[in-house]
Chains A and B, each alone.
Chain A
Amino acid sequence: MKNTKRDIETYKQKIKKRGFRLTETRMVILDVLLKSSGELDAEELFLLSHKKHPKIGMATIYRTLRLLEKEGLVVRVGFYNNKAKYRIEESSGPLAEKPDIRPSKSGLDKKKFTGDAGYPLVTRYEGNLEDYKNVERINTIQNQLSQWLGELSKIKREKELALEDVIKDFGKVDKIVSYHENQRSNLIQILLDVQNEYRWLPKHVLLYVSSKLNIPLTDIYSIASFYKSFNLEPRGKYTIVVCTGTACHVRRSMYLLQRIANVLGIKHGDTTGNYKFTLETVNCLGCCALGPVMVLNNKYYSNPSTKQLEKLFSDLD
């Protein structure tokens, strides 16, 4: 450690040559590294340099270390107790020739950014082989899952198509449209009435309405998807409505919803696989005295228990 001063000077020059600023903090950290006898980890470095310069924080240490390491002035040695140790690079032979990689004032020099600045771009994977096997296993499971999901949606679509096929007679739609005087402004009313008829809005019926009223299908969809009352997917034969208005909420309607979901095995907004039940929530039914309320088949049930629910659902055909 006899020629510390000269050393600092050489390193200062190196940094300057690379085109980096010689900030106070960098100087302090470099100084600490040079003065230390052995290797230091980031925390030790922080403790030593923080005493000399109160503005230095952990982040400054890491940032500076990364910079110095990149430039080859500092090397990382070993990895003890989850802590990397650093020491100053003594041989300064080839390093001096490293080019300035920062953009020159005249503009960006693209060539200098192509990756051959002297540091590796790709790191080699050095884990153990077990991990590879696991990844393979995960991939097969994922493939299987997506296949199943694809099959499921196919089945669902087939059922939808089958349900759509039921509606071939547009006489009713004609009646509804003419009742509303073939007017575009009555579109919401028309759609509501169509839905009352079929319980949902099948695509081909919407197409028919669009041709009848001479408005684009997109316009119809924009309305059908904006308003909550419209269903673009087929509904179950029975709709279970659970009130989640404030009054029912404070009387724990979420537990009732959870119970029904447990019994039917569907979430709210969903329809059971056999298109028998659809579970819906509504904001207020106006009979808060009974809360939490469930409506099925136009009958009101006040906080039914799991047993009651099971009986109720199994009694319906």
Chain B
Amino acid sequence: MELKLVIEIKNKINSVDKLKEKAHEVEENYKDCIEISLCSGTGCKAYLPQELYRLMLEELDKNKEKINKKIVVHKTGCLGYCEKGPIIIIYPKELCYLQVKSEDIPEIVEKTIKDEVVERLFYKDDNGALIPKVSDIPFYKYQNRIILINSRMDPRNIDDYIRLGGYQALVKALTAMTPDKVLDEVKKANLRGRGGGGFPAGDKWETTKNAAGEPKYVLVNASEGNPGAFPNRLTIEGNPHSVLEGLILAAYAIGSNQGYIYIKQEYSLAIENINIAIEQAREYGFLGKNILNSGFNFEVKVHKGAGAYVSGESSALNTAIEGKAGEPRLKYIHTAVSGLWGKPTNLNNVETYANVPQIINNGADWFMSIGTKGSAGTKIFSLVGKVKNTGLVEVPMGITLRDIIYKIGGGIKDDKKFKAVQTGGPSGGVIPEHLLDLPVDFDELTKAGSMMGSGGMVVMDEDDCMVNLAYYFIKFLSEESCGKCVPCREGLRQLIYVYERIMEGKGKIEDLKLLEDLALVLEGASLCALGSTAQNIVLTTLKYFRQEYEAHIYYHSCPALVCKPLINYEINKEKCTGCMLCVKSCPVNAISGEVKKPHIIDQNTCIKCDACVEACPEKFSAIEKKTGLLGVKL
């Protein structure tokens, strides 16, 4: 027992020197060694990274005798380039292997030991030239990663984080700065909330700090429910300590002794990693009583959210942590003044907290030098949809959408035509092609009718129907609406009715005015942002893609061939060879025909399930979708 206590005390870091010592010690450990980073984030989970990791260790074990250098394998969090996953990066040469399969592992290990490279796994650019170095790959080249620095660390190892400069900010703040000074630095850096609205974090902290009432609470909002957005999830999975450090710094600045991390229960890996991080931080003395001998106490609890999108709203999140149904309330009094259990509560997004250690370490001026005047720093986006390079990107604010989509994203998949990009999840809007040169920051996106949101960026091509997309988001919001206020509950439902009418070809041109009116009511009268931002998607699609709505209404046609009631599946008689494959695949027996004779689809029975398209061999592609009054694609 005594021995354990001694070890515990020995492990505790309580001064700047001790932290430096620790960092040096870790660095010494890694000196002259080859580091292999294997991406094990959620994006690569489908490729079974554990299996690759196991194989890698086995291979290394087999070749024990040949190894003359120390080799370390990191199971890292998401490395970002999900499209080409799983990724292996080998340091110090920064060699990047893409789309690694289990068969490749022996060769990689063998060549790495011999200090050689596996050329066939390198990135090939359009001209066929090989790019071995990770920072030269276009996907990474145009990014500016200050938060996603997890490529050389195991998220479950605090030492790795310390080696990368972790907890230096905390030690600096607690030993050399007063809480007010920390707050001033964050305020000076103009750090804006990364969760959506872009409210200055410093101002929020100050309100909480000055509000009457004890104790004060600090919360992390990791209730990321946006369909198609996952920056928070991967930030916590890849580098939980950065969020934790930011949270402790915020608590120090505000004067809070208790923090909560609200995280969706579906994010099992993130929950696991943050729990481990909390344990390790406690062991090192960054959490608990009398942190770094400064007299400051702080504890963190993880609260698993049970899956309600609306619980990501600030007042709803507070009630959810109290163990009640997470419904929002009117915010005459902000949660910063009266939040959790009626006490002053500061709530920020995961990414906001992850920025704080960087600001304290490098100063507000450095932070201000990145990004634009109004929006400093970087922003993490999940670049998904119809782009060539899907993945997690961190870009400086002010970069244009075109740069993100074409330089980092590599352009549109299958070289189709770009149609629109959707930012901000269900609360955001769509941005059409003529606005692609828009600089990405909080204010510019809002001006265009969309918003930053928590970092979803979905790219759409000519095959996507904007009416259907708006319907999809409205339906999502309606399902997630808590039903407390009438405009949101009923307004969204009415919007759905109108959209369904239009998508069935029964819409009238007056319906467009009705959509606009309903959207404006939602904006003006809803209780929380879930309802009030629903107008973005309606108004932007109406504004930029009105002709598509009109095609649905006037010509009963869906130009993108998405809306089921308006499309027909027909078999091209010239292309059909009569192979009977589609006949067998049809779940409702709507296709009739004989062998070697063109088949016919009975339009009355067809449920438009797309099964026949899947069944028809690609070389024939005899099944065609048609739309419009005369079955002609417009």
Measured between C-beta atoms, what is the minimum distance from A192 to chain B in Å?
Answer: 6
Structural contact, B306 and A250, CB atoms closer than 8 A: no
Most B Cβ at <10 Å: residue of A282, A287, A288 = A288
Interface centre among B42, B327, B384, B386 (most CB of A within 10 A): B384
Q: Does B323 contact A (CB under 8 A)?
A: yes
Interface readout for A141-161 with B: 1 if CB under 8 Å, 0 if not?
000000000000000000000
Cβ-based interface call for B21 (8 A):
no
Residues A255 and B323 in contact, CB atoms below 8 Å apart: no
Question: Which of B323, B325, B460, B610 is the one whose CB lies under 8 Å from A250?
Answer: B460
Tell me which of B266, B323, B460 contacts A184 (CB under 8 A). B323
Stretch with Cβ within 8 A of A (4 or more), from B226-234, B277-285, B547-555: B226-234
Chain B residues, CB < 8 A from A293: 46
Contacts of A244 in B (CB 8 A): 227
Residue of B nearest to A224 (CB): B306
The reply to whether A288 and B308 contact each other, CB–CB distance below 8 Å, is no
**Residues of chain B with a CB closer than 8 A to A186's CB:** 323
> By the criterion CB–CB under 8 Å, are A284 and B43 in contact?
no
Assess A246 versus B228: contact at CB under 8 Å? Given A184-B323, A306-B614.
yes
The answer to whether B320 touches A188, judged by C-beta atoms less than 8 angstroms apart, is yes
> B434 contacts which chain A residues (CB < 8 A)?
none
A223 and B610 contact, CB distance less than 8 A = no
Least Cβ distance of A217 to chain B in Å? 15
In the complex, the answer to whether B323 meets A187 with C-beta atoms within 8 Å is yes
Point out the residues of chain A lying under 8 angstroms from B327, CB to CB.
Answer: 226
Q: What CA separation (Å) do A15 and B265 show in the bound complex?
A: 75
Are the C-beta atoms of B306 and A246 separated by less than 8 Å? no
CB of A259 closer than 8 Å to a CB of B: yes
Whether A238 is near chain B, meaning CB under 8 Å from some CB there, is no
The reply to whether A188 and B306 contact each other, CB–CB distance below 8 Å, is: yes
- Report if A287-B46 is in contact (Cβ < 8 Å); known contacts: A227-B308, A306-B611: yes
Tell me the B581-616 residues at the A interface (CB within 8 Å).
585, 587, 609-611, 614-615
In the complex the two chains form, is A300's CB within 8 Å of B306's CB?
Answer: no
Q: Does B83 contact A (CB under 8 A)?
A: yes
Q: Which residue of A lies closest to B458 (CB)?
A: A246
With A228-B307, A249-B472, A284-B230 known as contacts, the answer to whether A302 contacts B323 (CB < 8 A) is no
A191-B306, A246-B425, A247-B385 are contacts. A262–B610 as well, Cβ < 8 Å?
no
Q: Does A222 contact B (CB under 8 A)?
A: yes
B45/A300 in contact, CB under 8 A: yes
Judge whether B464 is part of the interface by a CB distance below 8 angstroms.
Answer: yes
In whole angstroms, how far apart are the Cα atoms of A262 and B615 in the complex?
14
Find the A residue at minimum CB distance from B229.
A284
A226 to B328, CA, bound (A): 13
B618 CB → nearest A CB, Å: 12
Question: Is A283 part of the binding interface, using a Cβ–Cβ cutoff of 8 Å?
Answer: yes
**Which residues of B in the span 478-527 have a Cβ within 8 Å of any Cβ on A?**
482
B58 at the interface (CB under 8 A from A): no
| Proximity string of chain A (167-180) to chain B, C-beta cutoff 8 Å, 1 when within and 0 when not | 00000000000000
**A243 CA / B585 CA spacing, docked (Å):** 24
Pairwise interchain contact A226-B308, C-beta atoms closer than 8 A: yes
In Å, the complex CA distance between A250 and B611 comes to: 18
Point out which of A185, A187, A249 has the most chain B C-beta atoms below 10 A from its C-beta. A249
Give Cα A289 to B324, complex, Å: 36
Q: Does B346 contact A (CB under 8 A)?
A: no
Which of B266, B324, B386 touches A282 (beta carbons < 8 Å)?
B266
Q: How far is the CB of A24 from chain B (nearest CB, A)?
A: 32
Q: In the complex, how many angstroms separate the beta carbon of B221 from the nearest chain A beta carbon?
A: 16
CB of B319, distance to nearest CB on chain A (Å): 11
The interface residues of chain A lying within 8 Å CB-to-CB of B303 are 188-189
Contact A188 B323 (CB under 8 A): yes
Per-residue 0/1 for A203-231: is the Cβ within 8 Å of any B Cβ (1 yes, 0 no)? 00000000000000000001100111110
For A251, list chain B residues within 8 Å (CB).
Answer: 385-386
Known contacts A286-B230, A289-B391, A259 near B609 by CB under 8 Å: yes
- Indicate if B75 sits at the interface (CB-CB under 8 A): no
Q: What 0/1 pattern do residues 218 to 262 of B give for CB contact below 8 A with A?
A: 000000111111100110000000000000000000000000000
Give the residue of B228, B305, B320, B323 whose beta carbon is less than 8 angstroms from that of A245: B228
> Contact at B611–A259, with CB atoms within 8 Å?
yes
The distance from the CB of A72 to the nearest CB of chain B, in whole angstroms, is: 41
The answer to whether A287 and B226 touch (CB under 8 A), given A228-B306, A250-B460, is no
CA distance in complex: A151, B585 (Å)? 33
The residue on A at minimum CB distance from B78 is A286
Against A, the Cβ 8 Å flags (1 = close, 0 = not) of B379-402 are 000101110001100000000000
Which residues of the other chain, B, contact A192 by a CB distance below 8 angstroms?
Answer: 265, 304, 306
Closest CB in chain A relative to B416 CB, distance in Å: 12
Q: In the complex, what's the smallest C-beta–C-beta distance from B387 to chain A, in angstroms?
A: 10
Known: A189-B303, A246-B425. 4 other contacts (CB 8 A): A230-B306, A244-B227, A282-B266, A286-B42
Q: Sample 23 A-B pairs with CB under 8 A, ordered by A number.
A: A186-B323, A187-B323, A223-B325, A226-B327, A226-B482, A227-B306, A229-B266, A246-B385, A246-B472, A246-B473, A248-B228, A250-B386, A250-B460, A251-B386, A252-B610, A262-B587, A262-B609, A284-B229, A288-B382, A288-B390, A289-B83, A289-B384, A306-B614
Which B residues have a C-beta under 8 Å from some C-beta of A? Answer: 41-46, 82-83, 85, 224-230, 233-234, 265-266, 303-309, 311, 320-327, 382, 384-386, 390-391, 422, 425, 456, 458, 460, 464, 469, 472-473, 476, 482, 585, 587, 609-611, 614-615
